[in-house]
Structure 1
Amino acid sequence: MPTQPARSVQRAARVLKVLAATPETDRTLSDLARAVGMPRSSCQALLLALCDEGLALRREPGPHYRLGPELLGLGRAASQAVVLADILADELPRLRDEFQATAMAGAVHGDAVVVTAAYPVPHPYGLTARSGSRLPFRAPVGPIYVAWAGDEAEAGWLARAQPALSAPQCDVHRAALAEVRARGWSATVQSHRDQATAHEAVQAHDVPAVHEITATDLVATRLHVIGVSAPVWAADGTLACSLALTALPRDLSGAETRHIAARLVEVAAQITTNIGGARTAGPGSR
């Protein structure tokens, strides 16, 4: 049975839309109640909640109400999200066609990495990335999202790993994040072992099935690259999303991986400029 929308949220949205229709004019409680078809007492309770959240502003005498200051940030974020979605709809198909690989964007939502846009290449078994797909945000998944996020975010990412990481393993991941920061991009590759040996090592928790690319990998002639990603920065200096290429058509050399990464960094930098973004100095810049 479909879940029904919350009526209180719908009513709050109607009140905000009424206030937004005449943003320069203060509205009385009675006026707003009539406009949205609510009892005065119910409208007052709703307005008090909106004021507590900064989404509406109570002004005396009256009282009168108008839109609140918190909506400025929400409006900027919404505007950026719309612009970013439009840009990704143009750029991701181009990357897919250029490299014959699945091109996608992702972002962290809570404890998950979510694919926010995906333009896949056909897969013989129907295995492909889709918009809305989720992965748990924990080591080793998603180093691009944590490399610049600061010590607290890094510690949480490591602590959420399953199975739990030893101190030396955490040090390996920290070194990998430092490499991501230094390069400006991330690449996940399959471990350097034959399949049987790698399986035994993973079962023994000796080495992860995949790892962040290393300087040694970058001089190799054959790498099984799971994915390459680069950051897009928002106006407030946080990560707006990552751009990534995965399901690459063949194994790559280190030089080929560098070429793909450089192209992703170039496109990500242009998108950052187009949305008015920039990575600012802060705890995650390091």
Structure 2
Amino acid sequence: MIKKLGMWIAIVIAIGVLSAVQERLSVPNYIVGLAILGLGVIVFSFKVDSRLRALEEWGSRKDYSGIIKQLKGERHKPRHQQPESLEAGGAVASGIEPAHHIVFEDFRWFAAVLNLHLPAWAIEELNDTHFRGDHGPAVGRRYNVWYNACQVGTMQVTIGIGRLLERERFKGERSARVELDLTYLRFIPYRDARGLVYQIALLIGASDSEDGEVSRTKAAATAADALGGHLWEAVRAPEFGPSFDFYVDGPYDLLKSVVDDWKKQGIDPMVKWGGDRKRD
């Protein structure tokens, strides 16, 4: 308060001095106007700089030591609470279409597939089928996402946008949407962050070559683009610590292939491995 009062007193004095100089030296009005404008610019720059410094100090005062300790801690063992049905997980029956039932069944082992390939991550299914999203209410599967000992976000799966097709048609034109929301990503190594986004993009995308090279290339590009965009926003507005929001739509060809193969072998990963990493 005292600093602000002193600044305004200084401005008033400066204007008074300029007026006195104008009268004594007959300085043109436009010169005085330019001087006052310049003084205003200096004051505005000072206030902006002060605000930026305050934001930087605010960000530096936040203590993330506890979060970082958890991120480096022992990996969380997922404890899945799989809902028996969409209705059992809280979904409103009137909002359930045949396509929802198909995706719900196809993604029964989605968490198990991800946990097999992500050493530090743990995807833990919830007994909750009410999808939260920007496109209105929907239904599907929901998960907590852990990095080592720290819960860092959520993930959810529903049908692809605009895919409310009748059952038989949807079986041939399947599409799912996965949405991932993470915090504290700045403290997670790039390799691990990329691994999670890459695996999701790969499993949900289309399989368009026999050796999978095209699919892997597309998934890698998707992961790099998403993480690059997040880095840009984090640098652009560091004081806000933006969350990482990622979504992908696709026919989930690879996921379906893995699930079908397990079914042929009589493997239920939720029973055999507890929906976690292999032990044999």
With normalisation by structure 1, the TM-score equals 0.24
More strand by share: 1
More helix by share: 2
Larger RCO (CA under 8 A, 6+ residues apart): 2
Structure number with larger C-alpha Rg: 2
